[in-house]
């Protein structure tokens, strides 16, 4: 401690004057170094001393001393860093109550205490203490020190009380100002970290640097960023930076309801082992780290807590509310960076989806052009539902996946199956189609699997089945819901083991096919009724494509009608002159229970009736129910038996919404007989 001049003789200044001057000095500036030296000069006019020391209590356990010996003083003497109160001997330890004045420091102090040894070495002999703050709100005090023994009298103590009170007020104002200044400086330093964050949208890439730069603002031994999954009730470590060896869990860590609830606001633990127990897995990891202090602030995205930023220190009581404010500022900016990253990822995914959709659209267009170039007809459709169907075709075509195509009768399931085959690696191999409802069970089994000579009555020669015909290519089974349980079981073996046997044969053959199936039935309902195998359904339903009925995609009606008008007109060598406005309106208003097939038949009929002219409403068939009130007598009008039969079949199919089995029951014929008549009249 520096030795200044000997105590001056007290001047005849009144205490009131000195207090007034001190108040004036304190009001002129909040900069402590400009205040304390001048105050010391004023105090010396009423109380002689060599050194004045202002003691500022930090947290009830530590203190900082400010040296004020003459006109000039330092706000913070570097020789007096924060020291614990236990560094003073009990005899003169700073406290809120009275401390008996020191008359002979060498006799009364204990040099085994660091602060006692320091003042003794500096030449202190007499001392006078007066606290400020009072009561439980003890914030500091004033020590007057003298090199001479017994320098202070009781009246000096009384004079020092109002001076200490005024100094205490000035120190409190300075503390508030200084805390705010330091807080702002620290926040400004945090702002500088944002440049590091701006270098990458991936916080993990710059997290080590953030922790390093954060050290000078909030010292710590471990900084951790967590991600919270509320639904799964766990959190995982998204990024970490350690100054000491710490085992960081790599797997998600479960969190309890209480731990979730505590994450709404910031959390400060002064001494971790005293405040949490090893009751949860999360707490166990924290305790195992060996850390003592912990501050945690939530990281919010779109108003929801999605994780937290955590700072740990190996020493206790290293974090307070001020540190929490600083950490929150960094956490908010990290949240902003994470939000930008999420938006960037969403934009990238949207871009990828658009690119995939464009590629699929190009692929589907190519498939349709290939089918058209092969003379298998054009495929048109502009409705959103039809485009969704085409996108599904594009997705699955190039794979070997089994596909189940669903939809009402006449919607174009075979056309879609042909597209899938054309887009696959098997496009150069056979595409074999079979209608499972058109043949009786034994004939269907032979048609599908083939038979050996003598396998059944009439089997005079062996015959390969459709599975062998489709070797290397695609087998399309239409109306698969009509298969008998026995054939279903044999087909399941083909799908599971990729092998089969011909009827009457013993040799096992390999089934190198891709299977596509179609149905207009609800197979789940058939499973519930016990008419369709559940295991076969799941083997078929790996990827499902549903074709919407024509009534749900009216945008496709006129394009399809014009397509049939052109194609059928050319094939029949009877081109029509077009479709009238009235006919177009009717085409759009009709519900088309027979779907695309019914529309094609209607256009074929209209081409025959219009004789190359404009197709009008009169050339289109009546809707089911039209003319019911006026029965047609045999021989009246230009209608023969075939036309009556054709119309009856059309009406039955319409009433059954394309369900051939139901239509056959309505007409009182078998399914095979119905199919025979439909083939006879060109009804597909």
- Two tokens, residue 181: 């200044």
When comparing pLDDT for 236 and 340, which is higher?
236
If you average pLDDT over residues 294-321, what whole number do you get?
89
| CATH class for the region spanning 557-621 | mainly alpha
Asked whether the predicted pLDDT for residue 126 surpasses 60, the reply is yes
CATH fold of 15-181 reads: Beta-Lactamase (3.30.450)
If you average pLDDT over residues 622-628, what whole number do you get?
57
Q: Is 580 exposed, middle or buried (0-12, 13-18, 19+ CB in 10 A)?
A: middle
Q: Which residue in 51, 41, 75 sits closest to 127, CA to CA?
A: 51
If you average pLDDT over residues 19-35, what whole number do you get?
76
Residue 296 pairs with which residues in a beta bridge? Answer: 267, 310
Confidence of residue 519 (pLDDT cuts 50, 70, 90): very high
What gap in Å lies between CA 401 and CA 539, rounded to an integer? Answer: 10
Do strands 140-146 and 222-229 pair parallel, antiparallel, or not at all (unpaired)?
A: unpaired
- Two tokens, residue 252: 């998600």
Q: Output the CA–CA distances (angstroms, integers) from residue 174 to 20, 63, 99, 130, 394, in the order listed.
A: 18, 16, 25, 19, 74
DSSP string, 132-174: ES-TT---EEEEEEESSTT---HHHHHHHHHHHHHHHHHHHHH
Lowest mean pLDDT among 234-238, 269-273, 570-574, 632-636: 632-636
Asked whether the predicted pLDDT for residue 124 surpasses 90, the reply is yes
Question: Which residues in the chain are classed under CATH 3.40.50.300?
Answer: 384-548
If you average pLDDT over residues 112-127, what whole number do you get?
93
Q: Which segments within 484-640 are labelled E, that is strand?
A: 499-500, 509-510, 514-519, 543-546, 578-579, 614-615
Confidence of residue 69 (pLDDT cuts 50, 70, 90): low
Confidence of residue 635 (pLDDT cuts 50, 70, 90): very low
Asked whether the predicted pLDDT for residue 305 surpasses 90, the reply is no
Q: Output the CA–CA distances (angstroms, integers) from residue 274 to 222, 247, 612, 681, in the order listed.
A: 19, 21, 98, 91
Q: Residues 321-362: pLDDT tens digits?
A: 888 888 888 888 888 778 777 777 777 777 777 776 677 667
SS (H, E, C) 354-392: HHHHHHHHHHHHHHHHHHHHCCCCCCCCCCHHHHHHHHH
Asked whether the predicted pLDDT for residue 285 surpasses 70, the reply is yes
Q: Residues 539-586: pLDDT tens digits?
A: 999 999 999 999 999 999 999 999 888 888 887 777 888 899 999 999
Confidence of residue 272 (pLDDT cuts 50, 70, 90): very high
| pLDDT of the residue at 93 | 92
Q: How far apart are the first and last CA of the chain?
A: 112
When comparing pLDDT for 596 and 637, which is higher?
596
Interior angle at CA 352, CA 346 and CA 354, nearest 5: 105
Residue 201 in 3-state DSSP? coil
Residue 298 in 3-state DSSP? strand
The CATH number of domain 639-684, selected from 1.10.8.10, 3.30.1020.10, 1.10.10.60, 3.40.50.1100: 1.10.10.60
Residue 537 in 3-state DSSP? helix
Asked whether the predicted pLDDT for residue 473 surpasses 90, the reply is yes
Radius of gyration of the chain (CA): 47
| pLDDT of the residue at 180 | 78
**Sheet (strand 83-84) strand order:** 83-84, 62-68, 51-57, 140-146, 126-132
CATH for 384-548 is 3.40.50.300
Lowest mean pLDDT among 65-79, 111-125, 669-683: 65-79
| pLDDT of the residue at 678 | 80
Asked whether the predicted pLDDT for residue 275 surpasses 70, the reply is yes
Residue 627 in 3-state DSSP? coil
The CATH number of domain 203-345, selected from 2.60.120.10, 3.30.450.40, 3.40.50.10330, 2.70.98.40: 3.30.450.40
Asked whether the predicted pLDDT for residue 311 surpasses 60, the reply is yes
> What does the mean pLDDT of the chain come to?
83
Question: Which residues in the chain are classed under CATH 1.10.8.60?
Answer: 557-621
Q: Which residue has the tokens 């709404």?
A: 264
| pLDDT of the residue at 346 | 76
When comparing pLDDT for 394 and 675, which is higher?
394
Phi then psi for 627, rounded to 5 degrees? 80, 10
Confidence of residue 127 (pLDDT cuts 50, 70, 90): very high
When comparing pLDDT for 429 and 137, which is higher?
429
| pLDDT of the residue at 12 | 44
Question: Which residues in the chain are classed under CATH 3.30.450.40?
Answer: 15-181, 203-345
Asked whether the predicted pLDDT for residue 523 surpasses 80, the reply is yes
Asked whether the predicted pLDDT for residue 20 surpasses 80, the reply is yes
Contact 66, 32 (CB under 8 A): yes
When comparing pLDDT for 60 and 272, which is higher?
272
Phi then psi for 505, rounded to 5 degrees? -105, 165
Q: Residues 150-195: pLDDT tens digits?
A: 999 999 999 999 988 888 888 887 777 777 777 777 777 777 777 7
């Amino acid at each position: 401690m520096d030795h200044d001049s000997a105590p001056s003789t007290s001047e005849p200044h009144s205490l009131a004057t000195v207090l007034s001057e001190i108040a004036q000095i304190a009001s002129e500036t909040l900069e402590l170094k400009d205040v304390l030296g001048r105050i010391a000069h004023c105090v010396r006019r009423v109380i002689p001393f060599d050194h004045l020391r202002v003691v500022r209590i930090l947290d009830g356990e530590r203190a900082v001393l400010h040296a004020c010996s003459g006109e000039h003083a330092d706000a913070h003497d570097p020789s007096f860093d924060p020291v614990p109160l236990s560094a003073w001997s009990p005899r003169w330890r700073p406290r809120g109550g009275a401390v008996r004045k020191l008359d002979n420091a060498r006799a009364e102090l204990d040099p085994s205490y660091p602060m006692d040894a320091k003042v003794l070495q500096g030449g202190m002999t007499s001392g006078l203490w007066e606290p400020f703050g009072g009561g439980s709100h003890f914030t500091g005090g004033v020590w007057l020190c003298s090199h001479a023994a017994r320098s202070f009298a009781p009246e000096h103590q009384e004079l020092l009380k109002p001076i200490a009170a005024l100094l205490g007020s000035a120190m409190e104002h300075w503390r508030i100002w200084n805390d705010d200044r330091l807080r702002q400086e620290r926040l400004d330093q945090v702002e500088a970290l944002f440049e590091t964050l701006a270098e990458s949208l991936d916080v993990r890439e710059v997290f080590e640097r953030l922790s390093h730069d954060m050290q000078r603002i909030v010292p710590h031994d471990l900084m951790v960023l967590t991600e919270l999954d509320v639904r799964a009730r766990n959190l995982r470590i998204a990024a970490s930076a350690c100054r000491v060896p710490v085992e960081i869990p790599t797997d998600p860590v479960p969190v309890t309801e209480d731990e979730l609830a505590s994450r709404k606001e910031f959390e400060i633990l002064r001494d971790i082992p005293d405040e949490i127990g090893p009751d949860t897995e999360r707490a166990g990891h924290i305790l195992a780290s060996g850390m003592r202090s912990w501050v945690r602030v939530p990281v919010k995205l779109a108003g929801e807590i999605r994780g937290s930023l955590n700072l740990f220190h190996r020493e206790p009581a290293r974090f307070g509310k001020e540190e929490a404010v600083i950490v929150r500022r960094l956490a908010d900016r990290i949240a902003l960076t994470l939000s930008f990253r999420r938006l960037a990822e969403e934009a990238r995914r949207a871009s990828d989806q658009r690119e995939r959709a464009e590629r699929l659209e190009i692929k589907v267009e190519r498939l349709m052009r290939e089918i058209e170039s092969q003379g298998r007809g054009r495929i048109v459709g502009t409705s959103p539902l039809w485009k969704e169907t085409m996108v599904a075709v594009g997705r699955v075509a190039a794979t070997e996946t089994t596909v189940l195509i669903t939809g009402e009768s006449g919607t174009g399931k075979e056309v879609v199956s042909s597209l899938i085959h054309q887009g696959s690696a098997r496009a150069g191999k056979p595409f074999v189609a079979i209608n499972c409802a058109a043949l009786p069970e034994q004939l269907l089994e032979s048609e599908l699997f083939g038979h050996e000579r003598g396998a059944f009555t009439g089997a005079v020669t062996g015959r390969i089945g459709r599975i062998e015909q489709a070797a290397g290519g695609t087998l399309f089974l239409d109306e698969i819901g009509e298969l008998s349980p026995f054939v279903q079981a044999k087909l399941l073996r083909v799908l599971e083991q990729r092998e089969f046997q011909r009827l009457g044969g013993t040799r096992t053959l390999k089934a190198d096919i891709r299977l596509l199936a179609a149905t207009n039935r609800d197979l789940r309902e058939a499973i519930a009724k016990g008419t369709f195998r559940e295991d076969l359904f799941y083997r078929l339903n790996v990827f499902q494509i549903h074709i919407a009925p024509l009534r749900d995609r009216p945008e496709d009606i006129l394009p399809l009608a014009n397509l049939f008008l052109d194609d059928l007109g050319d094939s029949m060598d009877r081109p029509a002159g077009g479709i009238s406005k009235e006919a177009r309106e009717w085409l759009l208003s009709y519900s088309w229970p027979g779907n695309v097939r019914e529309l094609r038949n209607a256009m074929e009929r209209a081409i025959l009736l219009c004789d190359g002219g404009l197709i009008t409403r009169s050339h289109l068939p009546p809707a089911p129910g039209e003319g019911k009130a006026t029965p047609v007598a045999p021989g009246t009008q230009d209608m023969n038996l075939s036309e009556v039969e054709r119309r009856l079949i059309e009406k039955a199919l319409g009433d059954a919404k394309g369900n051939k089995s139901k239509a056959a029951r309505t007409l009182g014929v078998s399914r095979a007989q119905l199919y025979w008549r439909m083939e006879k009249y060109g009804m597909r």
